[in-house]
Structure 1
């Protein structure tokens, strides 16, 4: 059974340290370090890139929160709209952050008159690294799982996890409420994390070969 670790640390009334937020932050940090490394290896301006990455990080967080709020407005936020700003309670969606960051990237290159495809080439080389960390955060939170399976790769999430709730709430129910764990599901989060890690290694290598040769 896969243990959920949505909240990693909780000190009294202080906001908790959530696994998805931590993985997202680590993804930004490692992606930034990888991008700076590429700049140095290919004799590009790392300082200018750092400014862009700061804007992309802010856009990604705002976009990820906005996407989550829009999808869960009626169930979580309509009764108390001010809870939209309680990011410490969790609630981020990777794809919302990706879309917002892409928009900011386009605007940034236009404002600063940089070549869109050259900048995108560099940024996209490190995005899979951040996505890999994000998917690990999804697994720890228990969301974004795959279909029910009887395969050896199937994992069970504990009671009251998203998978457990979906199976209990199905019509007809797929699981009894007394069950202590969900039915086995495909760990798509880990599969995507591994695939993104491999994609990052490939793109990082190809970028170096392309630009170091010049």
Structure 2
């Protein structure tokens, strides 16, 4: 019997369990994301060219959290679970069963920014430019949460850093001792996959944060920073999708190779290019 060369994922997704009340690591990562947004926002709001004062960052975060939760759930149901919704309308409210969409969350946040901007008397694009560099580290935290939860795994591969996600194996459970013993013999190596959650954390999270933070370090035309976020995320997500396993109930949705994530990222990229072009032309 040969020892497996790959890592077997069986991390407990529950961070804290108090009397049967479980707090999942994914929820903790949401708190990390919101905390990073607030801290970076307070730092950014100290600049003279920003539309908010440091105390107002908390208000912006509150509006954004509502947008993320409502938009993320609606987006997932409409983009990824519409058939399930048609058969079970209450599926919309079963958030504990999982299912949040970044693209839906983005739309929700944009609506929240528009509403907060009207309340504040501040331009919508200026708020978008302010908030764009604060988001990527939260996205990275979310992808780490996906990894800990053993979800949204990558496509099958034999690269040295590949991992075996028990939930991706038909009938597999991370708590199954029998499954783990099979893994130890190398019998599950054919199920090794890309840890695409980390790819997305590195691209959509860390890399995008560095690009946007440096790009916005000095004043840019109104709309340019927000446009750069759309371009960067759309590009990085499109690339990462080549390593991520398509949703089982959707598969490839176009041209026998494009995933739903890529379909939704293309408009982001295009709109971002148009917005940045408009921003610089308007300035001149």
Fold in common (TM above 0.5): yes
Q: What TM-score, normalized by structure 1, do the two folds share? A: 0.76
1:77 Cα shift?
Answer: 9.8
Aligned residue in 2 for 1:142: 150
Q: What TM-score, normalized by structure 2, do the two folds share? A: 0.59
Aligned residue in 2 for 1:58: 66
Q: How far apart are the structure 1 equivalents of 2:102 and 2:26? A: 10
Mean alpha-carbon deviation: is it higher for 21-30 or for 42-51? 42-51
Pick closer, same or farther for the CA change 1:129–1:166 going to 2, 3 Å.
Answer: farther
Pick closer, same or farther for the CA change 1:77–1:13 going to 2, 3 Å.
Answer: farther
Provide the secondary structure at the position in 1 that maps to 2:15.
strand
Is 1:40 matched up with 2:46? yes
Aligned residue in 2 for 1:205: 214
Is 1:3 matched up with 2:45? no
Ranges in structure 2 where 5+ consecutive residues have no aligned partner: 1-7, 173-178, 221-284
Which of 88, 104, 107 is matched with 2:112 structurally?
Answer: 104
Is 1:17 matched up with 2:23? yes
Asked if 2 retains the 8 angstrom alpha-carbon contact of 1:60 and 1:98, the reply is yes
Deviation string, structure 1 residues 181-201 (Cα, Å, up to 9, x no partner) = 671111111011112212212
Deviation string, structure 1 residues 52-79 (Cα, Å, up to 9, x no partner) = 2210111101222333445447659956
Deviation string, structure 1 residues 6-33 (Cα, Å, up to 9, x no partner) = 222222332x111212112211111121
Q: How far apart are the structure 1 equivalents of 2:46 and 2:55? A: 10
Ranges in structure 1 where 5+ consecutive residues have no aligned partner: 168-175
Q: How far apart are the structure 2 equivalents of 1:100 and 1:77? A: 22
Pick closer, same or farther for the CA change 1:28–1:154 going to 2, 3 Å.
Answer: same
Asked if 1 retains the 8 angstrom alpha-carbon contact of 2:41 and 2:131, the reply is yes
1:165 Cα shift?
Answer: 3.9
Q: How far apart are the structure 1 equivalents of 2:206 and 2:102? A: 16
Mean alpha-carbon deviation: is it higher for 185-194 or for 198-207? 198-207
Is 1:125 matched up with 2:130? no
Asked if 1 retains the 8 angstrom alpha-carbon contact of 2:30 and 2:138, the reply is yes
Give the number of equivalent residue pairs. Answer: 197
Asked if 2 retains the 8 angstrom alpha-carbon contact of 1:41 and 1:208, the reply is no
Aligned residue in 1 for 2:227: none
Provide the secondary structure at the position in 2 that maps to 1:30.
helix
Which of 164, 171, 190 is matched with 2:169 structurally?
Answer: 164
Pick closer, same or farther for the CA change 1:73–1:206 going to 2, 3 Å.
Answer: closer
Provide the secondary structure at the position in 1 that maps to 2:216.
helix
Q: How far apart are the structure 2 equivalents of 1:36 and 1:166? A: 47
